[in-house]
Chains A and B, each alone.
Chain A
Amino acid sequence: MSSLKVGIFLNYGPKTDLTREGLGRYTGTLINGIVENKNVVTIACPKGLKKNVEKLIEEFHIDKNKVLYVTTSHIPPIWTVYEVLTRERKEKKAKKSIKALIENRIYEMAQSESWFQFVLHGMLIAFLEVIYILFIGVSRPIMKFKRLAGHIFKGVVKKQLLELPDDFIRKLYRLMMRRTGDELVNRINHQQPLDIWYVPALFWPCVNDIKNSPVLINAPDLVTEQFSGQFASLTDEIQTIDCRETIKSGRYFVTYCKYTGKMLFEDQYVSRNKQWTYIYHSNHDLRDDVYISDDIQKKLNAPRNLTDEFCKALIATVRTNLPLIDGKRLANTRYIFYASQFRPNKNIMLLLKAYNNLIRKRFRHERLVFTGNIDNAPEAKQYIEDNNMLGDVVFCTGVNAQQLAALYQRAVLVVNPTLYEGGFPFTFGEGMSVGTPSIMSDIPQVREIISDEGVVKYSLFNPYDINDLEKKMIWALDNADKLYELQAPIYKRLSLRTDKVVAEEYINAFKKIIKTETIKPM
């Protein structure tokens, strides 16, 4: 088997920015690795998602010629409606500019030297007024209609049809995604078979209907089941049901660590007819995004550390949730950093509470910086407001890869309090690659990588024990350099897991499955 034809199934919905989502980025690195190994990748995705996939391909500098696509035939109307509804409004601007135009004409009119000019300007003003009135006349009813439709929707749909409109919308969304998924599978079954299809998530049970090639499914975790209470108030049950369906009907799986694999396929699900393996994450090395080499620094005759300067400049462009601490000011501060989505398993409340003590009882100066939108973490938002911590905790939104690297580079310490992960957290490598050490939860997924008691003692904390976190944070803040030295050997080992190495492991896993399939009696 020389070069492989690998399919990647990405049935994500509208507005999924793959370059920002963790799983999307992970897929990006994998595609990169597969392509670099002289294989060809075919991506199956809904038509509406194609441009986002292309963006991902571009951001990862992947050779476009080695990527083929299978897409749905058209973009469903509801997809477009969703995109339009979530677009920002521009009406006010238009109104303002017409007003300004009219105002200017009036000034011009006042300066007219002849009656002819005066009348001409007058007519122009009258004409603009008509446009303005028409605009208002058109836009107001539209606005009113929108509002009315909203009322009807809320009044009728919410009160009479369903208890939770959000869930309702989510269900519509899932239905749409099931349709696109089915269509994709259908198209795949009607085209030339590939050597293998790889599916990076558990959300799409339809992949098990792919008949012409073996399918390897990535099973990151069943985190919703672990934190059912919290997820029940965040999302619907369908996603989890779909994931379970995928596990039940699937045959080949890969997980991000031994622990989750064992838990899913040995402890929970009957594993007859199933094969699973685990492949650790590749290391997220952020250094290339911001590191200015010594060679170049020398060429520039630079008196200061330019990487640091560059990172400061990048942070200055970051958007924050606080007008008083914009990126420019954030760039001056010392801070603790946690880059993560806000999910119940991420345990950010513990971090917030420990941080509150750090400031209020231990009088530390460091700030706490998160990436993500505070509105997605209502509990945290409430806690921050109740404890008057609004000025202390900063949320950076819409952070791009370079800004993320800069935020890691300028942080004093990375803290990851997660309760549960599919594998070893990325945050460790992301921080270490730009010189920032981490302290993190003592969970089996972490222990698989960090087991040396000398390192564990300073690097891991009990994620259910606020005092432990507080103590470890203070020690780490005061001894960041020592902690870095302590963690450096682990990072060195981890950094060998480049995208290419991991991609090779995936390719080996693919090959193993292909081999199994070919000797399987038909």
Chain B
Amino acid sequence: MSNHRILWIFNHTSLRKFEVPTLIQMGYEVYCPKIYDVEYGDLSASIDYKFDSSLTIPDDVLEVLNETNFYHNLSCELLHIINKYFDIVFCMPLLEPLRSLLQGFQGNIVLHAFGLADDYCYGNVLYEAGGIQLLTLIKRAGNRFWFGETYENISEIEPEVIQRRAIFLPIGLKMDEKNADTWEGGEGRILFVGPKINSNSYYHEVYKNFKEEFGMLPHTISGAQIIPVKDDDTVTGFLSSEQFHYNMTHLAAMYYHSQNPRHLHYHPLEAVLFGMPLVYMAGGMLDYLVGTDFPGRCRTKQEARNKLKRLLKGDKRLIERIRKTQKKLLYPFSDEYCIPYWKEALPLIDQKQESVFNKKKIVIVLPAAYKGGVLDYSIRFTVAIYDEDKKNGNNLDITFAYPSDKQYMNDDCFEPLKERGITLTEYSVLFRDKEWLTKKYKIEGYQPPRIGYSFSDGMCILDDGMSNFENFDFAFVMSDTSPGISPIYWDIPHAVVVHDYIQRYVSDVVSLNANQVKILNQNKADYIIVTSEPTFEDAICYAGHSREKVVLSPILLDVASCKRISKKRKPYFVWPTNISKHKNHIVAMEALARYYNAGGQLQCRITGTFTSYLSYDADLSALSDDRKEYLIQIHELYERFPVLQKKVKVMGNLPKQDYLNLLSGAEFVFHMGYGDNGNASVIDAAGVSVPALVSDYPAMRYIEKFSGVPFKYVNPFNVDDITDALKDMEANHQELRKKIPGIEVLKKVSYEYKAKELYNVVKEMIKV
């Protein structure tokens, strides 16, 4: 066998000492990471360059690998290298690298498992870290995935999908043989290993219990402490190797507490090697490995105390009995025992995999019957991905899914998709409860023990009448809304686009329940896509997502060119809006009234969805109560300020071309809303060289930064400021107009130009 390579993503020192040389001896080349994250309590990690010499990969590739942190998301570029040079990857149950590998590595993946506390299983860890999507990926990986367990009883409690891929890779211990049997005794203290007392709740508990149960015996507690333990002289903290060696050779005995059936610490075995008498509790891993017939084994704490007391007194008979028999405890960790299993397992793992990745199937989902901005965004998103993918070798099979709704019956809004031959799928919504999901998981073989809070009130299933998108590789959901009152359930990895967190800034626009559903949809997603820095900040600060999960992607602007109409009878400005409260009509209209009363000349023309209701003579009877209540307040302004009736003209929702024509004849655009993700009509306006007077809030500042179009800002809560700004714009809009970049420059921020950037974002999520 030549040039079969293993990427071994661990930095654990004693693990490396056994596994890497064993693999090399078996004929593999093995790469070990040079950069690692120390979790705040990880005390046993290190770096070793020595095994690089086993590698026959080019130096520049080795250099790249040596600069990579493999404990995070692995980029497409890196996966490309791994695919090219490696056949097997050994890794930990860490969400990001494991997900990247399952999505993008063509070879064999060994999830190496060392056992967890009590009945906690790896299925659980994976589910909590990556949701059901991660288990789906494991299931789909089929025989590319292996659950490399170091003790054969670990998989006993795992879900079926993991259990059936279990392979026994026993953990060998390479101990320094020159230490063997060097124990002399003589110090009247027992040794207890209790690291991380103040930084890990498990060890804190272990420490407390030890103190309570054995504290009366003279003792020393060793183990590294990252937060010092005050007022306990028995806790040693970090020890030099000499001190460590002294303890292991001179202290009377070691006590080992763990009764964990699926995990064993290193130190009791070390004591056995040194020949130090080991007193340990029954019911733990040692029972499972070597049986129960050992004099150091104790069924009760009382028994352990008695034995320890005898050892402290120097009871020679007991000392010798324990020392003589306990050697057998080391056998399951010896080369003699372990290596045959590895020799048997590796050929099974190391199968040449057919290229499993053809085209990746992705679905872009419109999660509710949108009409305005979100629909436009979704179409542009799909078109941009499709066009860019074509340029990049056609890796994707794209479907666009939309809800069954009568507004899409005759609409030609999907025309750009149809033109490109993108599959369109209509779905309806089903509601399912928690019991259904539990059963589904059991049937699938996932059996996670708890479904948790997210779906406790049920869930929406998007039903396309076929497989409900379960056969896709990835879903892009175009907003965080649900089509119902519960979050959407997804089996597959998915990203959710979050346009804004307006619920934070404008009370009442999103109900409490709707907000909850939004956040649940976000929480369950693999990635959150945002299109502005302020929304990015909110995704972190408000929703509490980790920075790794949130991805900033470009705004998808449509920069339409249209000739500017220069002649007009009555000069006007355009107010593009809708009837949502955050558009700030009350303040804006009061400012308008003051502006006109002070001799303002420009007419105001309102356009946008549902804006016909803003007309002073509109019939509101068709509206819901809370909408009506708000609009009545606006209508009252017409009564209070009759000048508005004359000067404000409502154009309603206009077809695109008419809207552009309207814009192109305007002196400026007026946008007084706030709290959302910004208003793109200011860019439509810039396309026809029309400047904008806008509210000062972070999203608009970001649009200015993104597009290079300068705006005039005003405080949206201050009527006087707005009035003054209107007057100022009337007089000076020409100056601002001059600063608007030309159409050729503007085009560079259009979605067609930003497609590549978006595609790169998407690519990293699906790993193509």
Which residues of chain A have a CB within 8 Å of any CB of chain B?
61, 63, 288-292, 296, 299-304, 306, 309-310, 313, 317, 323-325, 328-335, 359-361, 363, 365-367, 387-392, 402
In the complex, the answer to whether A301 meets B38 with C-beta atoms within 8 Å is yes
Smallest CB-CB separation from A326: which chain B residue? B544
In the complex, the answer to whether B547 meets A332 with C-beta atoms within 8 Å is yes
A333 to B537, CA, bound (A): 9
Contacts A288-B230, A301-B46, A365-B537 given; does A391 touch B40 at CB 8 Å: no
Smallest CB-CB separation from A292: which chain B residue? B226
A289 to B199, CA, bound (A): 9
A288 contact set on B, CB distance < 8 A: 227-228, 230
In the assembled complex, the CB of A408 is this many whole angstroms from the nearest CB of chain B, namely 16
In the complex, the answer to whether A388 meets B541 with C-beta atoms within 8 Å is no
- The residues in B between 481 and 512 inclusive whose CB is less than 8 angstroms from any CB of A are 503-508, 512
A289 to B675, CA, bound (A): 40
In the complex, the answer to whether A333 meets B37 with C-beta atoms within 8 Å is no
In the complex, the answer to whether A390 meets B512 with C-beta atoms within 8 Å is yes
In the assembled complex, the CB of A352 is this many whole angstroms from the nearest CB of chain B, namely 14
In the assembled complex, the CB of A275 is this many whole angstroms from the nearest CB of chain B, namely 35
A333 to B504, CA, bound (A): 15
B508 contact set on A, CB distance < 8 A: 388
In the complex, the answer to whether A391 meets B515 with C-beta atoms within 8 Å is yes
In the complex, the answer to whether B546 meets A332 with C-beta atoms within 8 Å is yes
Against A, the Cβ 8 Å flags (1 = close, 0 = not) of B638-677 are: 0000000000000000000000000000000000001100
In the complex, the answer to whether A310 meets B515 with C-beta atoms within 8 Å is no
In the complex, the answer to whether A296 meets B226 with C-beta atoms within 8 Å is yes
Smallest CB-CB separation from A306: which chain B residue? B40
A387 contact set on B, CB distance < 8 A: 507
In the complex, the answer to whether A366 meets B231 with C-beta atoms within 8 Å is no
What are 21 contact pairs spanning A and B, CB under 8 A?
A288-B227, A300-B43, A301-B38, A304-B37, A306-B38, A306-B226, A309-B39, A310-B226, A310-B227, A324-B523, A332-B544, A332-B545, A333-B544, A334-B541, A363-B698, A365-B541, A367-B542, A388-B507, A391-B515, A392-B504, A392-B542
Interface centre among A290, A332, A334 (most CB of B within 10 A): A332
A144 to B515, CA, bound (A): 39
B231 contact set on A, CB distance < 8 A: 61, 63
In the complex, the answer to whether A317 meets B201 with C-beta atoms within 8 Å is yes
The yes or no answer to B30 lying at the interface (CB within 8 A) is no
The yes or no answer to B714 lying at the interface (CB within 8 A) is no
In the complex, the answer to whether A309 meets B40 with C-beta atoms within 8 Å is yes
The yes or no answer to B694 lying at the interface (CB within 8 A) is no
B199 contact set on A, CB distance < 8 A: 292, 310
A13 to B546, CA, bound (A): 43
The one of B43, B505, B519, B538 in contact with A324, judged by C-beta atoms closer than 8 angstroms, is: B519
In the complex, the answer to whether A310 meets B40 with C-beta atoms within 8 Å is yes
In the complex, the answer to whether A360 meets B506 with C-beta atoms within 8 Å is yes
In the complex, the answer to whether B227 meets A366 with C-beta atoms within 8 Å is no
Smallest CB-CB separation from A385: which chain B residue? B512
A304 to B231, CA, bound (A): 29
B38 contact set on A, CB distance < 8 A: 300-304, 306
A359 to B38, CA, bound (A): 36
Smallest CB-CB separation from B695: which chain A residue? A363
A310 to B230, CA, bound (A): 18
The yes or no answer to B717 lying at the interface (CB within 8 A) is yes
In the complex, the answer to whether B542 meets A330 with C-beta atoms within 8 Å is no
Sample of 11 further A-B pairs with CB below 8 A, known A306-B40, A332-B547, A387-B507: A61-B230, A292-B40, A299-B238, A300-B43, A301-B47, A313-B39, A328-B544, A330-B544, A332-B546, A333-B544, A388-B512
In the assembled complex, the CB of A285 is this many whole angstroms from the nearest CB of chain B, namely 13
Contacts A61-B230, A309-B40, A317-B201 given; does A363 touch B505 at CB 8 Å: yes
The one of A310, A317, A329, A363 in contact with B675, judged by C-beta atoms closer than 8 angstroms, is: A363
A367 to B520, CA, bound (A): 19
B interface SS class: loop
A interface SS class: loop
Smallest CB-CB separation from A361: which chain B residue? B717
B39 contact set on A, CB distance < 8 A: 309, 313
A304 contact set on B, CB distance < 8 A: 37-38
A248 to B35, CA, bound (A): 68
In the complex, the answer to whether B198 meets A333 with C-beta atoms within 8 Å is no
A335 to B544, CA, bound (A): 11
A390 contact set on B, CB distance < 8 A: 512
> What is the interface size of chain B, counting residues whose CB is below 8 A from a CB of the partner?
50
Against A, the Cβ 8 Å flags (1 = close, 0 = not) of B197-223 are: 011010000000000000000000000
A323 to B456, CA, bound (A): 12
A324 contact set on B, CB distance < 8 A: 516, 519-520, 523, 544
A332 to B541, CA, bound (A): 7
Smallest CB-CB separation from B512: which chain A residue? A390
The one of B37, B45, B543 in contact with A329, judged by C-beta atoms closer than 8 angstroms, is: B543
A306 to B516, CA, bound (A): 33
B675 contact set on A, CB distance < 8 A: 360, 363
The one of B40, B226, B504, B540 in contact with A334, judged by C-beta atoms closer than 8 angstroms, is: B540
- The residues in B between 581 and 606 inclusive whose CB is less than 8 angstroms from any CB of A are none
In the assembled complex, the CB of B615 is this many whole angstroms from the nearest CB of chain A, namely 29
The one of A303, A366, A389 in contact with B35, judged by C-beta atoms closer than 8 angstroms, is: A303
A363 to B675, CA, bound (A): 7
A333 to B536, CA, bound (A): 12
A301 contact set on B, CB distance < 8 A: 38, 45-47
In the complex, the answer to whether B544 meets A402 with C-beta atoms within 8 Å is no
In the complex, the answer to whether B543 meets A366 with C-beta atoms within 8 Å is no
A309 contact set on B, CB distance < 8 A: 39-40
Against A, the Cβ 8 Å flags (1 = close, 0 = not) of B518-554 are: 0110010000000000100110111111110000000
B542 contact set on A, CB distance < 8 A: 333, 365, 367, 391-392
A493 to B237, CA, bound (A): 31
In the complex, the answer to whether B503 meets A391 with C-beta atoms within 8 Å is yes
10 smallest A-B Cβ distances: which pairs? A329-B544, A61-B231, A388-B507, A310-B40, A365-B537, A365-B541, A309-B40, A333-B541, A302-B38, A324-B519
In the assembled complex, the CB of B515 is this many whole angstroms from the nearest CB of chain A, namely 6
Interface centre among B38, B505, B515 (most CB of A within 10 A): B38
In the assembled complex, the CB of A174 is this many whole angstroms from the nearest CB of chain B, namely 36
Contacts A306-B38, A391-B504, A391-B515 given; does A332 touch B540 at CB 8 Å: yes
A360 to B717, CA, bound (A): 10
B42 contact set on A, CB distance < 8 A: 300
A362 to B286, CA, bound (A): 62
A304 to B37, CA, bound (A): 8
The yes or no answer to B453 lying at the interface (CB within 8 A) is yes
B698 contact set on A, CB distance < 8 A: 363
In the assembled complex, the CB of B748 is this many whole angstroms from the nearest CB of chain A, namely 28
The one of A292, A300, A330, A359 in contact with B504, judged by C-beta atoms closer than 8 angstroms, is: A359
The yes or no answer to B697 lying at the interface (CB within 8 A) is yes
B543 contact set on A, CB distance < 8 A: 329
B46 contact set on A, CB distance < 8 A: 301
Contacts A310-B40, A392-B542 given; does A402 touch B238 at CB 8 Å: no
In the complex, the answer to whether B540 meets A360 with C-beta atoms within 8 Å is no
The one of A61, A290, A389, A392 in contact with B227, judged by C-beta atoms closer than 8 angstroms, is: A290
Smallest CB-CB separation from A388: which chain B residue? B507
In the assembled complex, the CB of B11 is this many whole angstroms from the nearest CB of chain A, namely 10
Smallest CB-CB separation from A290: which chain B residue? B227
A310 to B675, CA, bound (A): 34
Smallest CB-CB separation from A302: which chain B residue? B38
Contacts A303-B38, A306-B40 given; does A333 touch B540 at CB 8 Å: yes
Smallest CB-CB separation from A402: which chain B residue? B198
In the assembled complex, the CB of A24 is this many whole angstroms from the nearest CB of chain B, namely 19
A387 to B697, CA, bound (A): 20
In the assembled complex, the CB of B649 is this many whole angstroms from the nearest CB of chain A, namely 31
B35 contact set on A, CB distance < 8 A: 303
B45 contact set on A, CB distance < 8 A: 300-301
A296 to B47, CA, bound (A): 17
A331 contact set on B, CB distance < 8 A: 544
In the assembled complex, the CB of A298 is this many whole angstroms from the nearest CB of chain B, namely 11
A335 to B541, CA, bound (A): 7
A366 contact set on B, CB distance < 8 A: 541
